């Protein structure tokens, strides 16, 4: 699901002929409720929000909480920029509060964070990750660090969390 018309068209073209993928130009938040759980009862929901609105973290948490209520066993991956430390912490706290069983936060920073808020890396939060996800992320980051780093300063972390008791 991609709301932007040109992005939706590019995805349709990219996956044309692939019967396992369907690209639809539609607001992902609306589509999430309509398309989970899938008929197969297994799959991955990738959330790539624009992080343009001040309510983005709350919107993500609310939408995923609804989706998890309908499809608890689904794998949900949320991409996020490492730019604003407070936003990243709010996102982690919000996702940990709704994660039913397990969540992994995999982060790659190509350079150290400076005083100014600027893009220095990226993260992926995975709710209900596949069994080997954390180990595979560590391996990939170790291989990517020398290629993507700026000035030998790349760092990465993979943190596996269990839900907090209520």
Domain edges within the chain: 1-35, 40-161
Asked if 78 and 62 touch (Cβ cutoff 8 Å), the reply is no
- Tokens encoding 136: 């595979």
pLDDT in tens, 17-56: 998 887 877 777 777 878 888 888 788 898 988 888 888 9
The answer to whether residue 164 scores a pLDDT higher than 60 is no
The answer to whether residue 98 scores a pLDDT higher than 60 is yes
Mapped onto helix, strand or coil, the DSSP state of residue 124 is strand
pLDDT in tens, 108-160: 998 877 667 788 899 999 999 999 999 999 999 999 888 887 776 889 999 99
The answer to whether residue 104 scores a pLDDT higher than 80 is yes
Q: Averaged over 8-14, what is the pLDDT?
A: 88
Q: Considering only the top CATH level, what class is 40-161? A: alpha beta
- Tokens encoding 122: 């990226």
Residue 136's pLDDT is 96
Residue 161's pLDDT is 86
Within 10 angstroms of residue 48's Cβ, the number of other Cβ atoms is 11
Residue 96's pLDDT is 93
Query: Rounded to the nearest 10 degrees, what angle do helices 28-35 and 56-70 cross at?
Result: 10
> If residue 107 lies in a helix (H) or strand (E), which one and from where to where?
strand 103-109
């Amino acid at each position: 699901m991609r709301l932007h018309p040109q992005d939706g068209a590019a995805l349709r073209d990219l996956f044309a002929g692939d019967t396992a993928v369907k690209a639809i130009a539609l607001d992902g938040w609306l589509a999430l409720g309509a398309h989970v759980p899938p008929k197969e009862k297994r799959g991955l929901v990738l959330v790539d929000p624009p992080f343009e609105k001040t309510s983005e973290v709350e919107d993500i948490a609310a939408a995923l909480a609804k989706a998890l209520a309908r499809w608890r066993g689904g794998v949900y991956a949320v991409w996020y920029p490492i730019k604003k430390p407070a936003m990243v912490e709010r996102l982690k706290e919000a996702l940990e509060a709704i994660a039913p069983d397990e969540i992994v936060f995999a982060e790659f920073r190509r350079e150290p964070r400076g005083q100014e808020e600027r893009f220095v890396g990226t993260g992926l939060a995975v709710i209900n990750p596949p069994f080997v996800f954390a180990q595979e992320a560590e391996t990939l980051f170790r291989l990517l660090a020398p290629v993507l780093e700026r000035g030998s300063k790349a760092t990465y972390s993979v943190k596996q969390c269990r839900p907090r008791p209520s």
